[in-house]
Amino acid sequence: MRPLIIIAATLLISACSTQPISRSTYLLRPDRTLETRAMQGSTDLFLGEVMIASYIDQPGLVLEQGEGKVHTAKYHQWAEPLRTSLRQFLNTEISAGLGSDIAMSRIGVEHARRIDVKIDKLHGDADGNAVLIAYWSLTADGKTAEYQFAESVALDGTGYEALVVAEKQLLADLAQAIARGVK
């Protein structure tokens, strides 16, 4: 009986002495310095739907390992739901590109222009790149113009932190492309 207690105590002590794996969380925020001010919401332009492919709309950062095979990081995650932070990020960056604020929700103007965005890919790849494929549309006066954005950028370093930096850059580039298209 005594050897069994010693073995159990040894196992318990060794289990408690191992270092737990730490989890890293990342915020998706613009690098721009924001200031306290009254928002000058657009009277004819608003950000409509921001849709995200379900495989990336989850806490873990995503890496594509090969043809159609993805890995979702368990210990490297977004700090908040991507659908929430991505909407705010795009709104801020598109507004900066336009030089004026766009509304975050539908506005009551009959002929308001609406921007819709769908993120189809936002992940790292096996070659050390961040990849973004997105579709966006501008609807005005009952007519819709559709656009595609497909870019990748090499990571400036290794690891998930470098991936987050590259993904933010790609999303900022998408926002600038949208702003140019709206103008």
Q: Any idea where the domains of the chain sit in the sequence?
A: 26-182
Q: pLDDT category, 127, cuts 50, 70, 90?
A: very high
Residue 15 clears pLDDT 90, i.e. is over it: no
* pLDDT score at 133: 98
Tell whether the model's pLDDT for residue 106 goes beyond 60. Answer: yes
Average pLDDT of 24-43?
A: 82
Which pLDDT score, from 0 to 100, does residue 107 have?
Answer: 73
Percentage of the chain lying above the pLDDT 70 cut: 87
The answer to whether residue 154 scores a pLDDT higher than 90 is yes
- Please tell me the class of the 26-182 domain: alpha beta
The model's pTM is 0.86
Averaged pLDDT for residues 150-168: 96
3-class SS of residue 34? coil
First-to-last alpha carbon distance for the chain, in angstroms, is 81
Tokens of 110: 């009959």
| Mean residue pLDDT across the chain | 88
pLDDT at 13: 58
For residues 88 and 9, which has the higher predicted lDDT (pLDDT)?
A: 88
The larger pLDDT score, comparing residue 84 to residue 107, is at: 84
Of residues 115, 114, 132, 112, the one with CA closest to residue 123: 132
Q: Coil, helix or strand for 103?
A: strand
| pLDDT tens, residue by residue, 34-83 | 778 777 766 789 999 999 999 999 999 999 998 889 999 999 999 999 99
